[in-house]
């Protein structure tokens, strides 16, 4: 298919219209104004504190959450400011359907939604286009975070069945914005950020600049590092109908990563350890060094009040040098995996240098409204392309000695050297999509959509020294029916299909580093939403998702056999419950089950690392007796989780309580907000992440931490 050529054609047409409009206006003057109907204007600017009532991740345009037939969470810039959220790991704690999934401190932030792990290459989005999630995605230049829970085949194409996380970039403000934030945490983390926005003397041009620097001192002693970030977003109102937006960002992060623990004797949870214990602590330990950047472009043109076109593209660049003193197994007891009964574990010198990814995403879309008889249509059609190129070299993974979780030992390094970097992955994904939202009657809307995807893939398997080439195509339908019995209530039923890349075998599997073929997933969802007030929403959804189960079998091969079925109930309440109380409640009950695997040890068992019930509650109360003072608190609960696919070991449930306060005042005439928080007030030890990946690792949650910050608005 000729997707790129079609994209260029649509782009050319829109740009010609954009620049023709002001030229014709100059030529025709007042006569044109009298004879030509007024055109719709395209104006997109950011606000200082947007309400989390709308999102674009559930479809192809910004829409009210009430009218979106999907389960969507929006974490606004205000939420991130009020809760001193600096990374995605803290942000997603507000949603009970999201869990850590091999989320090691200092490495890539990795998550699951509805029990399915997200794909680092396709499940994370920036303004709707795919970006890798192989490192901490910066939040300083993000207006909000939108989470679509469930299949996103129509909206995103290739993506894991759990959903997608979309980062919406901050845009220029109409009024001057000058904000400085500083923060300190008790182990010595220091953070500073600047947010500048406004318009030039020629108000057709706007800007938004974000700069941040951070000295990282993790709650895990030794997982230290630093981070530097800068971004810019600019827009040009070419004409009342045409808007051009450009954004770019750059981040340089270096931080020592903190590996997890394994079972003692491969049967028992470690005891008597501290949450701040660092297993990657050798004299030769080096931080994982990651450099990322984005350049994004978006052009919007309104042909008239009913029809408009949008073209967007993003070039991402990622480079990583990975160093770890990696803990795995116990040679003294011939355990692989598992630590020795006395806490001994084998240490491997792991080095992978020069890893790069340079994906390019682009999308062209036209949207409009029309009627066919009594039926009204909101129509969308478009094309998209995703080009991925990954490079890596042969890594070092050599045994270098034995240490102990209770009494760490110094071991030597390996003389091994990494191999030359070469192309290891090249994918081209082209797709065509169409959606029509048909108003059948006053209270009924039918959403129907279809996306066709062609995937042309190449993989070079480093350890096996072999090439794999494959082509696939998928047709992904999405249909939903929405009933609105009242203006503030909607009920929906939805069916969708999705496609995801196959999982990649771990380096210790017999088919190490090989990727399985793409697979299809299916979802049924029923939901109801209610705007109790314009500022407070209730929502509930029932869902069932089925997909092929991927795991490492008894023979040591990573395979897809049988089925994973996840059935769940999500309940949420979000917004201003009373004049003084802001409330956020998220509850998820999940029944996950494996079947038809061919193994009696696996059939009927729960999917690991996913609790059957999880709750996240946050409240913020404005104290009227003290002007500017607010207090907040949150509660996180997760039920017990299975550690292995055969459910031999479970980690216990846990409760975590957090407290905070904020005080808005003026200092030397400058508006200021002073904030303080204590997380994990009771200093509870718990296992936050018990991934089965890489033969299974357990990660403790953070111990009690303190932080204070000050925000100044000039």
The secondary element (H helix, E strand) that includes residue 673 is strand 670-679
Q: What gap in Å lies between CA 117 and CA 522, rounded to an integer?
A: 16
Tokens of 47: 């606000």
What confidence tens digit (pLDDT) does each residue in 98-127 have?
999 999 999 999 999 999 999 998 999 999
**How many Cα atoms within 13 Å fall on the side-chain side of residue 307?**
8
Q: What angle do CA 543, 544, 549 make, to 5 degrees?
A: 140
User: Picking from 2-11, 56-65, 128-137, which range would have the lowest pLDDT averaged per residue?
Assistant: 2-11
Point out the least confidently predicted range of 138-147, 208-217, 553-562, 625-634: 553-562
Query: How crowded is residue 9: how many other Cβ atoms within 10 Å of its Cβ?
Result: 13
pLDDT in tens, 146-203: 999 999 999 998 899 999 999 999 999 999 999 999 999 989 999 999 999 999 999 9
In angstroms, how far is CA 147 from the centroid of its own chain?
7
Coil, helix or strand at residue 153: helix
* pLDDT bracket for residue 42 (50, 70, 90): low
Q: Would you state the pLDDT for residue 509? A: 83
The C-alpha atoms of residue 75 and residue 94 are separated, in whole angstroms, by: 8
> What pLDDT is recorded for position 22?
41
Cα-based distances in Å from 554 to 50, 562, 600, 601? 52, 15, 12, 10
pLDDT at 579 over 90: yes
Percent residues over pLDDT 90 in the chain: 81
Distance in angstroms (rounded) separating the CA atoms of residues 89 and 225 = 17
pLDDT digits (tens, 9 = 90+) for 301-334: 999 999 999 999 999 999 999 999 999 999 999 9
Q: Is the confidence at residue 289, as pLDDT, over 60?
A: yes
In our burial notation (b when 16+ CB lie closer than 10 A, e otherwise), range 487-523 reads eeebbbebebbbbbbbbbbeebbebbbbbbebbbbbb
- The tokens describing 222, both together, are 């030794």
Tell me 406's DSSP state: S
pLDDT band at residue 40 under the 50/70/90 scheme: low
Predicted confidence at residue 510, as pLDDT, reads 86
Cβ-based neighbours of 509, under 8 Å, separated by 6 or more = 552, 556, 557, 558
Q: Region 571-589: what's the mean pLDDT? A: 96
What is the percentage of the chain residues whose pLDDT exceeds 70?
Answer: 93
pLDDT in tens, 379-390: 999 999 999 999
Q: Which of helix, strand or coil describes residue 66?
A: helix
572 sits in which H/E element? strand 558-576
Q: Does residue 512 carry a pLDDT above 90? A: no
**Residues 516-568: tens digit of each pLDDT:** 888 999 999 999 999 999 999 999 999 999 999 888 888 888 899 989 999 99
pLDDT at 555: 85
Q: Cα(675)–Cα(439) distance, rounded to whole angstroms? A: 47
Q: Report the pLDDT value the prediction gives residue 7, as an integer from 0 to 100.
A: 40
The neighbouring-strand residues paired with 711 are 181, 673
Select from 579, 521, 507, 584 the least CA-distant residue to 549: 521
Strands 444-461 and 396-404 turn out to be unpaired
pTM score, whole prediction: 0.91
Query: For 106-127, what is the HEC assignment?
Result: CCCCCEEECCEECCCCCCEEEC
As a whole number, the mean pLDDT across the chain is 91
The end-to-end CA distance of the chain, in Å, is 53
* Residue 52 pLDDT level (bands cut at 50, 70, 90): low
Question: Does residue 12 surpass a pLDDT of 70?
Answer: no
Distance of CA 353 to the CA centre of its chain: 25
pLDDT on residue 31: 39
Name the region of 150 (left: φ>0; alpha: ψ -120 to 50; beta: rest): left
Residue with tokens 């008597």: 272
**Tokens standing for 65?**
């959450």
Contact 251, 140 (CB under 8 A): no
Q: How many residues does the chain have?
A: 714
pLDDT tens for 423-448 read: 999 999 999 999 999 999 989 999 99
pLDDT band per the 50, 70, 90 thresholds, residue 598: confident
């Amino acid at each position: 298919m000729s997707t790129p050529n079609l994209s260029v054609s649509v782009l050319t047409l829109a740009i010609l219209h954009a620049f023709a409009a002001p030229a014709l206006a100059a030529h025709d003057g007042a006569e044109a104004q009298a004879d030509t109907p007024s055109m719709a204007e395209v104006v997109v600017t950011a606000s200082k504190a947007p309400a989390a009532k709308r999102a674009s991740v559930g479809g192809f345009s910004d829409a009210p959450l009430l009218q979106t037939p999907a389960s969507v969470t929006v974490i606004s810039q205000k939420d991130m400011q009020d809760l001193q959220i600096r990374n995605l790991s803290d942000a997603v704690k507000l949603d009970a359907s999201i869990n850590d999934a091999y989320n090691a401190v200092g490495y890539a932030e990795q998550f699951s939604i509805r029990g399915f792990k997200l794909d680092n290459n396709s499940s994370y989005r920036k303004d709707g286009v795919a970006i890798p999630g192989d490192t901490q995605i910066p939040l300083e230049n993000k207006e909000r975070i939108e989470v679509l829970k469930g299949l996103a085949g129509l909206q995103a194409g290739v993506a894991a069945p759990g959903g997608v996380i979309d980062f919406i970039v901050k845009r220029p403000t109409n009024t001057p914005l000058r904000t400085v934030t500083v923060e300190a945490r008790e182990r010595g983390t220091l953070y500073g950020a600047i947010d500048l926005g406004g318009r030039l003397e020629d108000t057709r041009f706007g800007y938004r600049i974000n700069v941040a620097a951070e000295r990282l001192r993790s709650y895990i002693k030794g997982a230290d590092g630093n981070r530097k970030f800068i971004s810019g977003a600019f827009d040009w109102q070419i004409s009342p109908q045409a808007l051009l937006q450009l954004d770019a960002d750059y981040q340089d992060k270096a931080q020592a990563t903190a590996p997890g623990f394994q079972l003692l004797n491969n049967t028992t949870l470690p005891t008597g350890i501290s949450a701040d214990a660092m297993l990657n602590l050798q004299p030769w330990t080096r931080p994982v060094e990651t450099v990322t950047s984005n350049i994004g472009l978006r052009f919007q043109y309104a042909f008239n009040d009913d029809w408009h076109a949008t073209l967007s593209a993003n070039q991402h660049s990622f480079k990583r040098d990975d160093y770890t003193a990696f803990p795995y197994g116990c040679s003294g007891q011939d355990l692989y995996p598992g630590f020795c009964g006395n806490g001994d574990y084998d240490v491997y010198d792991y080095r992978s240098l020069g890893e790069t990814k340079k994906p390019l995403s682009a999308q062209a879309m036209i949207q409009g409204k029309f009627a066919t008889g009594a039926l009204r249509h909101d129509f969308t059609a478009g094309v998209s392309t995703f080009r991925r190129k990954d490079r890596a070299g042969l890594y070092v993974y050599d045994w270098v000695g034995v240490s102990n979780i209770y009494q760490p030992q110094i071991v030597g390094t390996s003389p091994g050297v990494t191999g030359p970097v070469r192309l290891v992955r090249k994918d081209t994904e082209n797709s065509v999509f169409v959606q029509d939202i048909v108003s059948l009657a006053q209270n009924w809307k039918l959403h129907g959509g279809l996306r066709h995807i062609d995937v042309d893939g190449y993989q070079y398997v480093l350890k096996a020294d072999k090439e794999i080439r494959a082509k696939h195509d998928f047709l992904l339908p999405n249909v939903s029916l929405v009933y609105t019995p009242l203006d503030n209530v909607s009920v929906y039923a939805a069916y969708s299909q999705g496609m995801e890349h196959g999982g990649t075998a771990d380096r210790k599997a017999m088919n190490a580093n090989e990727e399985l073929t793409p697979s299809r997933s299916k979802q049924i969802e029923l939901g109801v939403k209610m705007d109790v007030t314009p500022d407070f929403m209730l929502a509930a959804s029932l869902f069932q998702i089925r997909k092929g189960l991927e795991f490492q079998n008894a023979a040591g091969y990573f395979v897809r056999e049988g089925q994973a079925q996840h059935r769940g109930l999500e309940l949420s309440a979000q917004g201003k419950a009373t004049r003084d109380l802001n409330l956020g409640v998220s509850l998820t009950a999940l029944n996950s089950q494996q079947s038809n695997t061919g193994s009696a040890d696996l059939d009927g068992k729960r999917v690991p690392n996913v609790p059957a019930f999880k709750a996240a509650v946050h409240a913020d109360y404005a104290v009227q007796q003290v002007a500017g003072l607010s207090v907040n608190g949150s509660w996180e609960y997760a039920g017990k989780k299975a550690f292995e696919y055969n459910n031999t070991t479970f980690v216990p449930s846990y409760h975590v309580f957090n407290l905070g306060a904020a005080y808005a005042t003026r200092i030397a005439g400058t508006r200021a907000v002073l904030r303080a928080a204590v997380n994990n007030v009771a200093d509870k030890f718990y296992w936050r992440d018990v991934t089965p990946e890489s033969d299974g690792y357990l990660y403790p949650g953070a111990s009690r931490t303190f932080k204070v910050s000050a925000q100044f608005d000039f």
